[in-house]
């Protein structure tokens, strides 16, 4: 693993820019259009369905246009399925509230974490991991049903299709990279590797969700999101670093959120903040993940607030604590896997 000074340097430094404003504008536009439409039509309660469908635009930035179209279409389909599962869970658990419903959401979300991680890696989708599918399923499932399941699926699908279309238009906005050769390493993973990946994400999300539930905190799915976040980067050092960045960035992002929620705001103002935060998050996410979380954290919380308003104080405290729980579970998984691989390597040498 790298030394602490170099890790600290990466925590506070910015990588060189890569015309990040172009994909950032495209991605934020893919969120602005649906939210403005919902606001004008009086259906802002459907904001989560639209927001998670609009996450389609985050995938495949800086990739050739044809590959972006194909991969964003795959990512969009995955996210629509996740929103649909979440909406169905919301209907079922709302009809039968209690501990059983909460556990059902945690278990299904954990299975989605493992399954979506395999889908993402097997298709070579970027960004890797399962953080967006996990967030989509769990957030929608944990909120009161805002619409029939078919409406949730349709809204998410329309937003995903919009983002795929904007991805094509990005070619003429300067987001084209015809000389890029995409990696094909994902095509050569074995069945055993895919199974191990599924189990790693599923166990991490399940353990974090159950610990979050046992802690008595109100949003155990935030622990699930935080648990899968460090698993995405390649290499143990990068994974540990991502976990630490998640805790630091989220904690600082709570300060940003507290400021934004410290004064009364009309729904249209929240929409403006969400779109602006999306732009800023995408502007910095590839340059410094911890800094990007200054904007990602309030973005996520405000987007949930649009669809399912919550008291600010308890929500912000829970976000910090459940992020710490989730990251701790993720790091235990990472370090435990590393220790196991080292032990196997020693046994192979000794044998």
pLDDT tens profile 210-265: 999 999 988 999 999 999 999 988 888 888 889 999 999 999 999 999 999 888 88
Helices 220-228 and 131-142 pack at an angle, to 10 degrees, of: 170
Give the least confident one: 77-91, 220-234, 335-349.
335-349
Span 22-77, pLDDT tens digits:
999 999 999 999 999 999 999 999 999 999 999 999 999 888 888 899 999 999 99
SS3 label, residue 227 = helix
The tokens for 243 are 């976990």
Model confidence at 2, in pLDDT bands (50, 70, 90)? very low
| DSSP 8-state symbol, 17 | P
Dihedral Cα 334, 335, 336, 338, nearest 10 deg = 90
The DSSP secondary structure of 178-194, one letter per residue, reads TT-----GGGG--HHHH
């Amino acid at each position: 693993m790298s030394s602490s000074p170099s890790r600290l340097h990466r925590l506070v430094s910015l990588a060189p820019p890569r015309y990040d404003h172009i994909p950032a504008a495209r991605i934020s536009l893919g969120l602005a259009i649906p939210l403005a439409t919902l606001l004008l039509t009086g259906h802002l309660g459907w904001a989560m369905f639209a927001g998670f469908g609009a996450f389609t635009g985050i995938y495949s930035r800086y990739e050739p246009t044809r590959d972006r179209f194909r991969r964003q279409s795959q990512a969009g389909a995955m996210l629509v399925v996740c929103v649909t599962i979440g909406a169905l869970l919301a209907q079922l658990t709302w009809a039968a509230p209690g501990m059983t419903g909460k556990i059902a959401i945690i278990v299904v979300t954990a299975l989605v974490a493992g399954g979506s991680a395999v889908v993402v890696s097997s298709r070579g989708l970027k960004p890797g991991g399962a953080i967006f599918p996990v967030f989509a399923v769990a957030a929608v499932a944990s909120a009161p049903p805002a619409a029939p399941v078919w409406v949730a699926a349709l809204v998410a699908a329309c937003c995903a299709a919009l983002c795929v279309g904007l991805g094509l238009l990005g070619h003429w906005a300067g987001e084209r990279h015809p000389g890029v050769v995409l990696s094909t390493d994902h095509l050569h993973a074995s069945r055993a590797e895919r199974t191990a990946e599924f189990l790693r994400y599923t166990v991490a999300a399940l353990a974090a969700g159950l610990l979050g539930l046992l802690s008595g905190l109100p949003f155990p799915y935030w622990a699930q999101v935080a648990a899968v976040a460090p698993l995405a980067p390649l290499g143990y050092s990068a994974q540990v670093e991502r976990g630490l960045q998640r805790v630091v960035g989220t904690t600082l992002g709570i300060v940003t959120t507290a400021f934004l929620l410290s004064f009364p705001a009309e729904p249209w103002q929240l929409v403006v903040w969400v779109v602006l935060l999306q732009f800023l998050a995408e502007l910095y996410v590839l340059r410094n993940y911890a800094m990007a979380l200054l904007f990602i954290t309030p973005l996520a919380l405000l987007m949930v607030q649009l669809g399912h308003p919550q008291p600010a104080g308890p929500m912000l405290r829970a976000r910090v604590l459940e992020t710490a729980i989730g990251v701790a579970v993720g790091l235990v998984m990472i370090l435990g896997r590393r220790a196991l691989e080292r032990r196997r390597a020693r046994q192979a040498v000794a044998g």
